[in-house]
Amino acid sequence: MKAASIRLVAASLALVAGSALAQNYPTKSVTMMVPFAAGGPTDTVARLVAQGMTKPLGETVIVENRPSAGGILAPEQVKNARPDGYTILIHHIGMATTPTLYRKLRFDPLNDFEYIGLINEVPMTIIAKPQMPAKDFKEFLSYIKANKDKVSYANAGIGAASHLCGMLFMNAIQTSFLTVPYKGTGPAMNDLLGGTVDFMCDQTTNTTSQIKAGKVKAYAITSEKRVPSLPDVPTLGELGVKNADVGIWHALYAPKGTPKPVLDKLVGAMQTALADENVQKRFGDLGAVTFPKDKQTPAALQAHLKAEIDKWAPLIKKAGQYAD
Q: Which residues contact 151 (CB under 8 A, 6 or more apart)?
A: 143, 144, 177, 178, 198, 199
**Residue 251 near ligand ASP by CB under 6 A:** no
Instruction: State how far the Cα of 180 lies from the Cα of 187, in Å rounded to an integer.
Output: 11
The amino acid present at 133, given as its one-letter code, is P
**Residue 287 near ligand ASP by CB under 6 A:** no
Site for ligand ASP in 72-101 (CB under 6 A): none
Quick one: which of 25, 36, 86, 137 contacts ligand ASP (CB under 6 A)? 36
Q: Which residue is nearest to ligand ASP (CB)?
A: 40
In terms of CB distance, is 79 or 163 closer to ligand ASP?
163
Q: How far is the CB of 189 from ligand ASP (least distance, A)?
A: 9
* Cross-strand pairs, 152: 178
* Among the residue ranges 33-41, 72-80, 191-199, 266-274, the one whose residues contact ligand ASP (CB under 6 A): 33-41
Quick one: which of 99, 184, 287, 298 contacts ligand ASP (CB under 6 A)? 184
Quick one: which of 98, 162, 207, 210 contacts ligand ASP (CB under 6 A)? 162
Q: Judge if the upstream peptide bond of residue 26 is cis by omega within 30 degrees of 0.
A: yes
- Which x/- pattern over 105-144 shows residues binding ligand ASP (rule: CB under 6 A)? ----------------------------------------
Alpha carbon separation from 160 to 10, 93, 203 (Å, rounded): 46, 8, 11
Report how many residues bind ligand ASP under the rule CB under 6 A: 16
Instruction: State how far the Cα of 238 lies from the Cα of 226, in Å rounded to an integer.
Output: 9
Quick one: which of 32, 33, 42, 233 contacts ligand ASP (CB under 6 A)? 42
Element (H, E) at 113: strand 113-128
**Residue 192 near ligand ASP by CB under 6 A:** no
Instruction: State how far the Cα of 148 lies from the Cα of 177, in Å rounded to an integer.
Output: 6
Quick one: which of 97, 125, 185, 222 contacts ligand ASP (CB under 6 A)? 185
CB of 195 closer than 8 Å to CB of 102: no
> Quick check: helix, strand or coil at residue 133?
coil
**Residue 186 near ligand ASP by CB under 6 A:** yes
Instruction: State how far the Cα of 324 lies from the Cα of 102, in Å rounded to an integer.
Output: 6
* Among the residue ranges 156-164, 216-224, 226-234, 265-273, the one whose residues contact ligand ASP (CB under 6 A): 156-164
**Residue 203 near ligand ASP by CB under 6 A:** yes
**Residue 41 near ligand ASP by CB under 6 A:** yes
Q: How far is the CB of 86 from ligand ASP (least distance, A)?
A: 23
- The phi and psi torsions of 180 (rounded to 5 degrees) equal -110, 110
Q: Which residues contact 259 (CB under 8 A, 6 or more apart)?
A: 18, 19, 22, 83, 84, 85
Q: How far is the CB of 216 from ligand ASP (least distance, A)?
A: 14
In terms of CB distance, is 203 or 229 closer to ligand ASP?
203
How many helices (H) does the chain have, and how many strands (E)? 11, 10
Q: How far is the CB of 207 from ligand ASP (least distance, A)?
A: 9
Q: Which residues contact 96 (CB under 8 A, 6 or more apart)?
A: 109, 305, 308, 309, 311, 312
Which residue ranges make up the site for ligand ASP (CB under 6 A)? 36-37, 40-43, 155-156, 160-162, 184-186, 202-203
